[in-house]
Amino acid sequence: MSQDINVVALVKGQERYIFLFDDEHRAELFRTLGRFASNPELSFTWFDAAVLSHKIRHAFGPASRPPVRRLGAPFSVDSLEESD
């Protein structure tokens, strides 16, 4: 587990939205962005939430979580061809 604290910020006119989070609480941050966006008393919009979510996913890398297992036709690694 990483002890790093990540920071994302949004400046809208005179308002500042600053979010601190670690990798363990990334999902909670996404929920917080949604709550802020749905609050009509804030100038924080769904567009703001989408932009920050995108930046968080790309700037800070994927959150540590178990791999997703997709259901579908099974395949064999042996059936994959190498490409040059």
> Among 6, 7, 10, which Cα is nearest to 51's?
10
Predicted pLDDT at 74:
53
Residue 12 is assigned to a structural domain of this protein: yes
pLDDT of residue 3: 76
Q: Is residue 28 part of a domain?
A: yes
Query: How far is 52 from 49, CA to CA, in rounded Å?
Result: 5
Quick: pLDDT tens for 30-63.
Answer: 999 999 999 999 999 999 999 999 999 988 776 5
Residue 28, domain extent: 6-59
pLDDT tens digits for range 21-30: 998 899 999 9
- For the question of whether the overall pTM of this predicted structure is more than 0.75, the answer is no
Does any domain span residue 10? yes
Q: Which two tokens stand for residue 7?
A: 């920071």
- Kindly state whether residue 75 falls inside one of the protein's structural domains: no
pLDDT at 79: 47
